[in-house]
Amino acid sequence: MRKIIKKELLLEGKTKKIYATENPHEVIIHYKDSITALDGLKKDFLQDKGILNNEITTFIFKFLNSYGLKTHFIRRINNREQLCHKVDIIPLEFVVRNILSGSISKRLGVKEGTIPLNTIFEIFYKNDNLKDPLINDHHAVLLGLISYEELNITYRITSNINNILKKFFLDKNIILVDFKIEFGKDSKNQIFLSDEISPDTCRLWDKKTREKFDKDIFRSGFSEKVLDAYIEILKRLNVG
Ligand code: UDP
């Protein structure tokens, strides 16, 4: 396997850093130990959280790759870093909800834990100044973030991912309540699933007890319990 040369820092986000490599089409993604919520207003540092999320995302992206789904993930380099295809992130968060929780409960006044008859798909505009507003397809096209054709593709992939992961997690006795994904485009305008899929970006409940194993633990103020929950997810992923 070729030696990857880590070059300059290209970008630092709330939970990840992105470095250039000697290959202009590939980057190194480094997972940090920070955890944030409420548009970055609530912050903490949890020793080794980055290691867990790197491992969990690696597991899930490899699994999705095995279904022929195009993701930015190439391989895990070490406990905190992955080699990925370089993409320009489309500044949209695609959210899928199988059970209602979080912002939708507040926005629409629906009870937490309600199971909707339809699967709910939402898009949010990634824009810190505007506080990541919920928008619709027409707004996204109006803003030049994505085309209608690309939305067709991204919704189709999002729905496939939901079907694959819902079943996958259920086999591990975990309910995939909701999740957020992001897409990027490479230099040839090909769309790749990007960013991460981890307990930072999903709601994951125990099938029997409905205990939470995700970032909601942090949102509720129990920082000290977050790592154990993420370790439990990793343990269940590795079983069976
Ligand atoms: N989510 C995320 N990043 C965000 C906003 C939401 O990963 O910036 C995830 C969140 O963890 C949950 C899903 O997207 O799994 C739906 O989040 P929601 O809209 O309910 O917002 P929240 O109440 O979590 O802020």
pLDDT score at 112: 96
**Does ligand 1 have an atom closer than 6 angstroms to the CB of 204?**
no
- For residue 95, the Cα-to-chain-centroid distance in whole angstroms is 9
- The secondary element (H helix, E strand) that includes residue 36 is strand 34-37
pLDDT score at 22: 97
pLDDT score at 5: 97
Write the burial class of residue 44 (CB in 10 Å: 0-12 exposed, 13-18 middle, 19+ buried). Answer: middle
- Ligand 1 atom nearest to 180, measured from its CA: 14
Q: Which parts of the chain have pLDDT scores under 70?
A: 240
Residue 89: strand pairing partners: 184
Q: Where are the alpha helices (DSSP H) in the chain?
A: 49-65, 103-108, 137-142, 148-170, 216-219, 226-237
- Ligand 1 atom nearest to 126, measured from its CA: 8
pLDDT score at 240: 58
pLDDT score at 223: 96
- Phi, psi values for residue 25, rounded to 5°: -100, 5
